[in-house]
Amino acid sequence: MKCSLVTGGSRGIGRAISIKMAEMGYYVLVNYKTNKEEANKTLEFIKQNGGDGELLPFDVSSKDQIQQSLGGWIETNAEKYIEVLVNNAGINEDCLMLFMKDEQWENVIKSNLDSFFYVTRLVLNGMLFKRYGRIINIVSLSGQKGVVGQTNYSAAKAGVIGATKALAQEVGRHGITVNAVAPGLIKTDMTEGLDEEKNEKADTSETVGIT
């Protein structure tokens, strides 16, 4: 069975991606951290549209939880194969660097950059075995242009963009594509309260990687 794993799939962009992947015929693994109620709503939407999937809870900022939950799922589901990975989960903790606390830096780097490494490395082995896979990283224009008050977030997303380009070259010859999509301003819980007019000029989408 071909599966799609969407991290941060309980709400916002992750929910929309999960529903779309189900419409494309994939068995969707909906990852979430704590909000099981919203994750269940995503799964309900998937099933209402004739799709199928399951919840896969783990904190993307914790390599131990990733190994235990995702690694355990891979080991016990030999008949299933994660063909599409969407690294969507992430957080922002905006603050001017002068006043930024250690944990604000560390939390954002772990949730946005470290998560890409630990999740993708686990899934990549199955893709290499099948000689086919699709890895999509949801990044941000902040990682391309930089944004005041987002030194941590800009650094993390820029890191994912660079890693996307490097990994694409490593695995492209094995039938695996790696791309990063940088959406413009989209109304979600994460962007609530942002000044839309201020971000209007940045409201574009770009894709990087090798297809």
Residues tagged active-site: 153
CA dist., res. 138 & res. 112, Å (int)? 10
Amino acid of residue 168: A
CA dist., res. 176 & res. 211, Å (int)? 8
**Is the CA virtual torsion 45, 49, 50, 51 positive or negative?**
negative
Q: Could you tell me the two tokens for 9?
A: 């799939």
For 76, residues 6+ apart whose C-beta sits below 8 A from its C-beta are none
Phi and psi for 205 in degrees, rounded to 5?
-120, 140
Q: SS3 helix, strand, coil % of the chain, rounded to 5?
A: 50, 20, 30
Query: Using alpha carbons only, how large is the chain's radius of gyration in Å?
Result: 17
Contact 196/185 with Cβ under 8 angstroms? Answer: yes
